[in-house]
Chains A and B, each alone.
Chain A
Amino acid sequence: MTTITHPAPPTVIEETPSGAVGRRVPRHDALLQVTGRVVYGDDMHAAGMLWARAVRSPHPHARIAEVDLLPALSSPGVRAIITGRDVPRNRYGFTHQDQPVLAEDCVRHVGEAVAVVAAETLRQAEEAAARVMVRYEPLPAVFDPLEAMRTDAPRLHQDTNVAEHIRIREGDVEAGFAQADAIVEEEFTTGFVEHAHLEPHAGLAIPSPDGAITIYSSVQRPFLVAGDTAKVLAMSQNRVRLIATGVGGGFGGKNEMTFEPWIALLALRTRRPVKIVFTREEEFQATTVRHPYRMRYRTGVRADGTLLARAVEIISDCGAYVSWGASTLAKASIHAAGPYAIPHVKIDGYLVYTNNPVGGAMRGFGVPQVGFAYECHTDAVAEAVTMDPIAFRLRNALRDGGHLPTGQVLERVTLAETLRQALEMAEWRREGRAS
C-alpha cells in the first residue's frame, strides 16, 4: 500500500543562506511530477480491490417508483449494491441540507446517482449498473431560472424555488439615479462551465478489520469530506480517515463529498477495498459546474464621470441542489458593484433551483461572473460620458479607506498601482490601437 506522505523538498533546491521567503523555489514535487511518480486518485490500487460504478438518472425530474436490484445482483462479479436506503443519514449540504447521498424518492437532475454497484472488475460493475432496474415516473421539470421563479413553476424542494435572496444596500439608490446625468443599463449572461480538471474524481476506500475506514481521494478539502462522510454514515470521525492523494486539478470541483460515502459503505459491507473513478461524462453531467448568472446592471453617472448609483440584479441558476450556491452568490453580490466608490448601491441576488446540473464552487466563486459584467459595464459607462476607460477607472476607483457596499473598509488598495504597471508592461500608449 502506498502511503501518501509528501516528501521533503528535493535536494535540487539550492542552499538558503538568506532565507526561503521570496525565493523562486521549484515546487517540492516538481521532479516527481515530471517523472510521472506522483500518486493520483486513479493510481491507487489495493490487493483484492473491487470497482464501483454509479447508476444515474436519465431524467431531469422524476419520482422513483421502484428500484429492482435482483437482475443486477445476479450479474457476474457483483459483490454488493447500495441505494439511498443503505445510507444512515441520507442528507447533507453546507448551508442547506437539501442533498441526498443517493436519491431515494425523487431525482432532480440528469445524472443524479440512485445506486452504486461494486464488482470484481470495472467492466462487471458497468454491466451490473446497467441491469439495476429503476422505474421512474417523470415529473414536470424546469430549466429556466426565470420560469422557475414563477409561482406556477414545478417545484424542486419546498414551496418556492428561490433558495436564497441576498440584499446589499448602501445609500439611496433612487436618489442617486435622480442626480445622474446619464444612466446606462446592460444585461449580461454567463453559461455553464465545467472545471475540466484533467484528473477526474477518483479514490479508493480500504476497510479495517475493526470497522474503521480509510479513504484515499483526490480532494481539495479532506477534512470537510471526511467530516461529511462520517456524518452521513453515522460513524465516529476518528474512524473515518481521509488521505488526499495527488490532486490533478480541482478548481473548486473537488470541494465537496461525492463518492466517498459510497465506496466506504461498499468497502465496509464487502470487507474489500473499493475503487471508483468517474468518467468524463460523469464529470460534465453529474458533478458540480460554475453557476450560470443573468445580471442586470443599471448605473447612474455624472457628466464629469463620477459614479453616483448602481443597481444590480443577479439571478443564479443553482441547479437541483444548493451545494455552494448560496455562498457563491453571497461572494458575487458583495463584489457585484466592482472596486469602485459608489455612494448609492442596491444589489439583489437570487439563487434559484432548476433541474439543471448542480452549480458548485469554481475558482472565483461567483465573482468571475460579476467581474465580467462590472468591468465590461465600466467601459460602457465610460463611453456614455465620453471618457477614456482608464481615466474613468482611476477617477472612480476605491482608495485606501474607501469601502465596499458592505461597509467593509479597504486598506493598502493597489488598484492604481497594478494598473500603472500593467499599462507600462503592455506598452500602452493613448494614441493608438496596435493595428
Chain B
Amino acid sequence: MRRRGRGVAWMAYPIGFTSYANPSAAFVKVNQDGSAVVWTGAADVGQGSTTALAQIAADALGIPLDRITMVTSDTLQTPMDLGSVASRVTYIAGNAIMRACAQARQILLEVAADELGIGPEGLECRDGWIMARDLPERRVPLADIARKAETGKGRPPIGAGSYNPPTTFLDPETGHGKPYNAYVYATQIAEVEVDTETGQVEVLRLTAVHDCGRAINPLLVEGQIQGGMAMGMGYALSEEMVVQDGRVLNTTFADYLVPTAMDVPPMDVGLAEVPDPTGPFGAKGVGEPSLLPTAPAIVNAIYDAVGVRLHELPVTAERVLAALRAQSPARQPGRHS
C-alpha cells in the first residue's frame, strides 16, 4: 500500500563564521569611460556569487552591470577574502565591495559637485549618470566625470574597502556571547509517498520559503535553494557512506546515491525578503540554509504517512521497512487525518 504524508520543518541560521574574525576586502576602480573593475578574493564556486557581487558593485557605483568587470580569487592580484563558505559571500564580500565603491563614488561626486554646482551630498550616481538627488534633470554623464577626475583633477576614482561582521567569542563555561551578526530564516514542506511493503519513500513535492534578506538576484537564490533541497533529499533518504573499520566500502557514484534529475520532485520556491540594514542593499545569504530543513521535513512527512518516527539518517527503504515491522499493529498512521 502506498500512503501519503506531509511534513514541515523550519530553521534559523547565521551568516559568517562563529566568533572568529572573517573579513573580506575589495578594490575598485572606475575607468575613464565610466566602466569599472572590481577585485575580490571571493571564489565563485558555482553558486554565482561573482554575478551577485557585480550587481552590488553596479548599483553602488551607479554604473550599468554590463560595464562592470570582476577579477576574482587570485592571491597575488585580489585583496584577501576568507572564502566562499559559511553562507558569507554576498553579505561580507558584498559589504566590502559597498565600502570600496563608496570611496570611488565619493571622488566622482566631489568632482561632479564642481561641474553641477551642487554639493556632493546632494548628488547621486545612477545608471551611468551623476545627478542631483532632488533634480534628476540636473545631470552629467558619469563617464565625463570619471575622465575629468583622472585627467583633469588628477584624482583617479578608486576605492578599497573591507568588512568584518562584529562578533564575540563564547564564554567557555556558559556558551554565552554574540558569535554572529546576521540570521536568516526558512520553512520547508515535504510531501512524500511511502510504500508500506518495500519501505521505499518517494518525495512528491518540496516547498521552500526563505528569508535571505533582500535577494540581490532572485534567480540565483532560487537556484541555490533548489540545489540545496536536492542535497537535503540525498541526506534524508539515500546518501550513506558505508564505513567498516575505517574503510569506506562504497567509493563510487554507482553505490553512493546522490539524487539525480530522475529523483528530484517538483520544487516550489518562495522568498520572504526582509532587508537587513547591515547587509549590502539589505542582503544576507542562502547557501547553506537551503538544505537545512529538507531532511526533517521529509522525515516528518514519513511519520505523517505511515506513523513511524525514524531517528537515523539516511532513512533508507530498509530502515523504513524495519520501523514499519516494529510498529504496533494498533497504531493508526497520520497526524493530520
**Are B82 and A222 interface neighbours, CB within 8 A?**
no
**Given A110-B247, A408-B178, A428-B6, A188–B51 Cβ distance below 8 Å?**
no
Q: Which of B76, B205, B268, B293 has the most CB of A within 10 A?
A: B76
Among A117-125, A128-136, A261-269, A370-378, which stretch is in contact with chain B? A370-378
Residue from B58, B176, B191 within 8 A of A406 (CB atoms): B176
Q: Which of A289, A331, A407, A426 has the most CB of B within 10 A?
A: A426
Contacts of A189 in B (CB 8 A): 311-313
Contacts of B205 in A (CB 8 A): 426
Contacts of B239 in A (CB 8 A): 193-194, 196
Report the bound CA distance from A115 to B73 in whole Å: 29
Residue from A141, A188, A241 within 8 A of B74 (CB atoms): A241
**Are B311 and A188 interface neighbours, CB within 8 A?**
yes
Which residue of chain B has the shortest Cβ distance to A398 in the bound complex? B12
Report the bound CA distance from A24 to B65 in whole Å: 12
**Given A20-B65, A189-B313, A379-B303, A284–B251 Cβ distance below 8 Å?**
yes
Query: Quick one: which of A373-428 are within 8 Å of B by CB?
Result: 374-376, 378-380, 383, 388-390, 393, 398, 404-408, 410, 412-415, 417-419, 421-423, 425-426, 428
Among B42-50, B99-107, B154-162, which stretch is in contact with chain A? B42-50
Contacts of A408 in B (CB 8 A): 177-180
Contacts of B220 in A (CB 8 A): 27
Residue from B46, B55, B75, B337 within 8 A of A240 (CB atoms): B75
**Are A19 and B127 interface neighbours, CB within 8 A?**
yes
Shortest Cβ distance from A102 into chain B, in angstroms?
19
Contacts of B248 in A (CB 8 A): 110, 192, 284-285, 357
B34 at the interface (CB under 8 A from A): no
**Are A330 and B18 interface neighbours, CB within 8 A?**
yes
Query: Quick one: which of B16-35 are within 8 Å of A by CB?
Result: 17-20
Report the bound CA distance from A173 to B216 in whole Å: 42
Among A45-53, A71-79, A242-250, A302-310, which stretch is in contact with chain B? A242-250
Contacts of B295 in A (CB 8 A): 368, 371-372
**Are A434 and B4 interface neighbours, CB within 8 A?**
yes
Report the bound CA distance from A252 to B17 in whole Å: 13
B7 at the interface (CB under 8 A from A): yes
Chain B contact patch, size range? 35 or more
**Are A393 and B73 interface neighbours, CB within 8 A?**
no
**Are A422 and B185 interface neighbours, CB within 8 A?**
no
Shortest Cβ distance from B35 into chain A, in angstroms?
9
Residue from B72, B217, B234, B292 within 8 A of A24 (CB atoms): B217
Shortest Cβ distance from B37 into chain A, in angstroms?
9
Contacts of B218 in A (CB 8 A): 22, 24
**Are A221 and B85 interface neighbours, CB within 8 A?**
yes
Report the bound CA distance from A430 to B337 in whole Å: 8
**Are A334 and B175 interface neighbours, CB within 8 A?**
yes
Report the bound CA distance from A330 to B175 in whole Å: 9
Among B114-122, B133-141, B269-277, which stretch is in contact with chain A? B269-277
Query: Quick one: which of B205-220 are within 8 Å of A by CB?
Result: 205, 207-211, 214-220
B285 at the interface (CB under 8 A from A): no
Report the bound CA distance from A171 to B111 in whole Å: 58
Report the bound CA distance from A240 to B305 in whole Å: 56
**Are B304 and A433 interface neighbours, CB within 8 A?**
yes
Write out, one digit per residue, whether chain A residues 221-243 have a CB within 8 A of any chain B CB (1) or not (0): 11110100000000001101111
**Are B337 and A432 interface neighbours, CB within 8 A?**
yes
Which residue of chain B has the shortest Cβ distance to A255 in the bound complex? B85
Write out, one digit per residue, whether chain B residues 151-171 have a CB within 8 A of any chain A CB (1) or not (0): 000000000000000000010
B199 at the interface (CB under 8 A from A): no
Report the bound CA distance from A143 to B199 in whole Å: 29
Shortest Cβ distance from B279 into chain A, in angstroms?
11
Contacts of A430 in B (CB 8 A): 336
**Given A16-B127, A193-B241, A196-B256, A6–B72 Cβ distance below 8 Å?**
yes
How many residues of chain A get a CB closer than 8 Å to chain B's CBs? Answer: 131
Among A7-15, A80-88, A145-153, A175-183, which stretch is in contact with chain B? A7-15
**Are A19 and B85 interface neighbours, CB within 8 A?**
no
**Given A23-B55, A168-B175, A280–B10 Cβ distance below 8 Å?**
no
**Are B179 and A167 interface neighbours, CB within 8 A?**
no
Report the bound CA distance from A167 to B172 in whole Å: 7
Contacts of A143 in B (CB 8 A): 243, 245-246
Which residue of chain B has the shortest Cβ distance to A15 in the bound complex? B64
**Are B56 and A21 interface neighbours, CB within 8 A?**
yes
**Are A422 and B208 interface neighbours, CB within 8 A?**
yes
Contacts of B252 in A (CB 8 A): 280-281
**Given A285-B251, A368-B295, A21–B210 Cβ distance below 8 Å?**
no
**Are A347 and B55 interface neighbours, CB within 8 A?**
no
Contacts of A5 in B (CB 8 A): 71, 74
Report the bound CA distance from A364 to B293 in whole Å: 11
Write out, one digit per residue, whether chain B residues 217-257 have a CB within 8 A of any chain A CB (1) or not (0): 11110000000100110111001110101111011110010
Query: Which positions in B face A, CB cutoff 8 Å?
Result: 3-14, 17-20, 41, 43-46, 48, 50-51, 54-56, 58-59, 64-76, 80-86, 126-127, 170, 172-180, 183, 185-189, 191, 204-205, 207-211, 214-220, 228, 231-232, 234-236, 239-241, 243, 245-248, 250-253, 256, 258, 268, 270, 272, 274, 276, 281, 287-289, 291-293, 295-297, 299-300, 303-305, 309-314, 334-337
Query: Which positions in A face B, CB cutoff 8 Å?
Result: 4-9, 11, 13, 15-29, 60-61, 109-110, 141, 143, 166-170, 186-194, 196, 214, 219-224, 226, 237-238, 240-244, 247-252, 254-255, 280-281, 283-285, 289, 327, 330-331, 333-335, 338-339, 347, 354-357, 361, 363-365, 367-368, 371-372, 374-376, 378-380, 383, 388-390, 393, 398, 404-408, 410, 412-415, 417-419, 421-423, 425-426, 428, 430-435
Ordered nearest first, which 10 A-B pairs have the shortest CB separation?
A168-B175, A221-B83, A60-B246, A375-B296, A244-B73, A192-B241, A435-B4, A339-B12, A24-B219, A375-B9
Provide 23 A-B residue pairs closer than 8 Å at the C-beta atoms, listed in order of the A residue: A20-B64, A21-B216, A26-B219, A166-B175, A168-B176, A186-B309, A189-B313, A221-B85, A223-B81, A240-B75, A254-B45, A284-B251, A355-B246, A357-B246, A371-B9, A375-B300, A376-B300, A398-B12, A413-B12, A418-B209, A419-B8, A426-B6, A433-B304
